[in-house]
Copies of this chain bind each other. A is one copy, B any other.
């Protein structure tokens, strides 16, 4: 226990805490709190939960992350993609907004928290590496499009249901004649205003003499302004009486103490979504954390991050929240506003707590269309269709992974999209590495180097074939090497020596070792000797532990030049 306490990141920064750090942290906390209030409400709505749940999920997780987390500036709470995944996981389970639905969200946070802590303790953080960038990119873009589409009905003031985008869009289209004019006006005005704040306000403020960083932070308060103005107008003009949907009564008070369900049937149903939420949340959080840490030459510990995010989610589960993770926008704001330590997160949690105690009556008149506009503007920045073109130019197989993740997520939902994407990118990687690049090389005249005979004018002998293998040898590519050697033998009747240049071979597994033995034996029976050159130290150590080198028909040379010089000296003389 004492060893565990000593390793708590909180103790490290806590000891060196000063009054200056307190000031920086306090200012950052104030700015982040102002930004988080509308975001928390909006993401709770996106997840299909009452707005106050978003506030609850922003308190305990922040505190627990501050205690366990290894990033100094990461801000944990509800984020768009995880909220969408929560809604997708619970959609078939209960009606959005019902008590069963909320109980499901709490259980989902609990399962995800438990999985994250377990993965952290087992040091399984590397599993997240199997989500490739093209898969993440396709998944996030598709999620952004789905989220934006899901908010359109609120913006239009119509009813439209659809489990997937392909159901939702036609339903929206059919509902178009019922569009509620006032709702659309409020929603559109808020959307246009928020886009302008993002793109137009900052240059204006900078032009008026404000610093670039201050202008940036000021622009982040845009959603608060949109909320304040639309709340005031709705209250003053009685828009809720004209059919504008408002948030209504938000319970005032501390986050409730809650317990997850221990129904094993429910656990089975939520296990897969919880695992995917854990992995996606972890990947998002770690990449934000690493980016911010590196700017100040700090570092984060991925396995410690798993434990901290897990603790955050467990905290959410016991205080009426839903799945959370480290958010990009809020962490960057926290960092830019000068946060030095996780104490900023503690103070932010205090701010949100105050808001949920005091501010909720003011949210009564908040139009839902304003929240929808906040979500749409936030998530459209996630959609990066330019990645399609960039990836196509660089790698066709990565493009295939990106497009199929994007397409499957849009057509069949977030879980199917992730599973298809990860599966396909693994299969494509295996196929690529199962066809290794093997070059026939020859001596560059006047040097001791060897180059591909197809690309360079080099010298070769009919008595010797040099093959350079550009990949570690393992079961899926070992037979390619057998084929290449067979080809070389069948097409060179005078052949006496085959030399494998092993400089790029980092590993030889059992299958490849047996292939090498088979090659050696076949060559020997055909009167040809197999030699190796430039074998790496660790590979040589393992080969020495076997019979292979004793049986080998030829020799092992330190450099490829030594091999050629010793076996075909006429090549150097001529």
A residues neighboring B (CB under 8 Å)? 126, 128-135, 287, 290-291, 293-299, 302, 390-391, 393-395, 397-398, 425-426, 429-430, 432-437, 455, 470-472, 474-480, 482-483, 486-487, 489-490, 493, 503-504, 506-507, 509-511, 513-515, 518, 522-523, 525-526, 536-538, 542, 545-546
Contact = CB atoms under 8 A, between A and B. Distances in A.
A252 to B, nearest CB: 44
A520 to B, nearest CB: 11
B430 A394 contact: no
Given A297-B526, A546-B394, A133 B511 contact: yes
Contacts of A477: 129
B482 A290 contact: yes
B430 A510 contact: no
B480 A129 contact: yes
Given A298-B490, A434-B126, A510 B394 contact: yes
A373 B284 CA distance: 63
A512 to B, nearest CB: 8
Contacts of A486: 290, 293-294, 299
B129 A510 contact: no
Given A294-B489, A297-B489, A503-B503, 13 more contacts: A126-B435, A129-B480, A130-B434, A131-B475, A133-B511, A133-B515, A134-B510, A294-B523, A297-B490, A393-B545, A429-B474, A470-B506, A503-B504
A409 to B, nearest CB: 18
A133 B434 contact: no
Contacts of A537: 455
Given A295-B522, A299-B490, A426-B430, A129 B479 contact: yes
Interface secondary structure of A, over-half rule: helix
18 contacts: A126-B479, A129-B434, A130-B430, A132-B475, A133-B515, A134-B511, A135-B475, A290-B486, A294-B486, A295-B525, A299-B486, A299-B490, A390-B546, A394-B513, A398-B510, A429-B474, A437-B506, A470-B536
A302 B506 contact: no
Given A299-B486, A504-B504, A522 B291 contact: yes
Contacts of A538: 437
Contacts of A126: 434-435, 479-480
A128 B482 CA distance: 14
A133 B398 contact: no
A526 B391 contact: no
Contacts of A299: 486-487, 489-490
Nearest to A128: B479
Given A126-B434, A298-B490, A398 B291 contact: no
A505 to B, nearest CB: 9
Nearest to A430: B426
A406 B139 CA distance: 39
Contacts of A298: 490
Nearest to A295: B525
Contacts of A135: 475
Give 10 nearest A-B pairs by CB, closest first.
A132-B475, A294-B522, A133-B511, A398-B510, A299-B490, A470-B506, A132-B511, A299-B486, A133-B514, A129-B476
Contacts of A487: 299
Nearest to A489: B297
A522 B293 CA distance: 9
Q: Which one of A129, A291, A391, A482 has the greatest number of beta carbons of chain B within 10 Å?
A: A129
Contacts of A515: 133
Contacts of A478: 129, 133
A480 B426 CA distance: 18
A509 B295 contact: no
B133 A526 contact: no
Of the candidates A493, A503, A510, the one having the most CB atoms from chain B within 10 angstroms of its own CB is: A510
A49 to B, nearest CB: 33
B525 A132 contact: no
Contacts of A475: 129-135, 425, 429
A1 to B, nearest CB: 27
Contacts of A393: 545-546
Contacts of A479: 126, 128-129
A265 to B, nearest CB: 27
A504 B472 CA distance: 9
A511 B425 CA distance: 11
Contacts of A476: 129-130, 132, 429
A452 to B, nearest CB: 8
Q: Which interface residue of A133, A294, A545, A546 has the most chain B CB atoms within 10 A? A: A294
A472 B395 CA distance: 15
Nearest to A505: B504
A529 to B, nearest CB: 14
A430 B472 CA distance: 13
A368 B130 CA distance: 54
B130 A545 contact: no
Contacts of A471: 472, 506
Contacts of A131: 475
A506 to B, nearest CB: 4
B504 A506 contact: yes
Contacts of A510: 132-134, 391, 394-395, 398
